[in-house]
């Protein structure tokens, strides 16, 4: 019989393989942690071990001050940062850190990634912000993450001249944010080689974010229907619904899809 802690160790261990799979880390860089729901505990990888060697049994259990509660190995050198986020963001269930190349390049020049493509509106709902430069070893990085993301929709922050930290409702969501952060960092960088890049209008960003966060994928039928409601409402508000055309008569619609 596996316990919730055993399952979290297995999940956090498996998610480290996703960092390799998506090209987000080199050698032993980066790390993933997960909060054990309903507890003051987190699970994080051991420091400096090859991703190929990681096993669920090696995952380290720490309290939210970063103190090791279970495990023989030393915890990730970013444990203090992860723990600080969990202490100050009770809504966060997972934290990820990577040095993914395109996003880390944006952090190296200290420039936020502008919300210039719909995929950024979907996942980030805004630009991806830059946090302060902070040396590893105390709460500085954690403080920079929390301060930068405070009141911000983005689940990702580019810590200046260091790399990416992402947060999520659970560890898997934080890994997804790290994957999407690198994807859009690359795309927007490439776009800038082709020509000027402009930020999407905020109202479009808001609509993209709302749809993606609440309707995209296998959303419950009522949410999916509600997402269509505004268009239907506009149609019915704009003109009385056309009488059903006689079966044999063709119906011509205008450019907006309304009956001509």
Ligand X SMILES: O=C(CO)[C@@H](O)[C@H](O)COP(=O)(O)O
Q: Which residues bind ligand X (CB under 6 A)?
A: 28-31, 45, 47-48, 76-78, 97, 99, 136
Least distance (Å) between residue 101 CB and ligand X: 13
Residue whose CB is less far from ligand X, 29 or 143 = 29
Q: Which is nearer to ligand X, 50 or 193 (CB)?
A: 50
Q: 42-75: buried (b, 16+ CB within 10 Å) or exposed (e) per residue? A: bbbbbeebebeebebeebbbbebebeeeebeeeb
For residue 54, the minimal CB distance to ligand X (Å) is 10
- Tell me the closest approach of the beta carbon of residue 106 to ligand X, in angstroms: 16
Q: Beta strands of 105-205 (E only): which ranges?
A: 130-131, 156-159, 163-168
How does strand 41-44 pair with strand 94-98?
unpaired
| Coil/strand/helix, residue 228 | helix
Q: Per DSSP, which regions of 86-242 are E strands? A: 94-98, 130-131, 156-159, 163-168
Residue closer to ligand X (CB basis): 28 or 140: 28
CB of 99 to ligand X, least distance (A): 6
Nearest by Cα to 12 from 168, 177, 170, 183? 170
- Residue 79 or 116: which CB sits closer to ligand X? 79
User: At 137, is the secondary structure helix, strand, or coil?
Assistant: coil
Name the minimum Å distance from CB 76 to ligand X.
3
Closer to ligand X at the Cβ: 103 or 188?
A: 103
């Amino acid at each position: 019989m596996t316990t919730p802690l055993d399952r979290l160790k297995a999940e956090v261990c498996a998610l480290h393989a996703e960092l390799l799979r998506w090209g987000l880390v080199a050698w032993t860089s980066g790390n993933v942690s997960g909060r054990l729901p309903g507890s003051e505990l987190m699970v994080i990888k051991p420091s400096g071990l090859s991703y190929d060697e990681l096993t669920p049994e090696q995952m380290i259990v720490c309290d939210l001050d970063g103190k090791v509660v279970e495990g023989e190995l030393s915890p990730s050198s970013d444990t203090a940062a992860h723990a600080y986020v969990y202490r100050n963001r009770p809504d966060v269930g997972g934290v990820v850190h990577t040095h993914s190349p395109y996003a880390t390049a944006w952090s190296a020049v200290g420039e936020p990634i502008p919300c210039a493509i719909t995929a950024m509106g979907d996942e980030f709902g805004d630009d991806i912000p830059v946090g302060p430069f902070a040396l590893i070893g105390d709460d500085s990085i954690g403080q920079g993450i929390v301060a930068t993301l405070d009141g911000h929709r983005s689940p990702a922050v580019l810590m200046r001249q260091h790399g990416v930290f992402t947060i999520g409702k659970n560890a898997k969501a934080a890994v997804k944010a790290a994957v999407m952060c690198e994807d859009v960092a690359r795309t927007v960088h490439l776009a800038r080689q082709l020509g000027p890049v402009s930020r999407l209008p905020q109202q479009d960003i808001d609509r993209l974010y709302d749809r993606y966060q609440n309707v995209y994928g296998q959303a419950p039928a009522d949410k999916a229907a509600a997402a269509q409601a505004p268009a239907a409402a506009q149609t019915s508000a704009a003109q009385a619904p056309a009488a059903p055309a006689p079966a044999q008569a063709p119906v011509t619609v205008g450019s907006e899809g309304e009956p001509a």
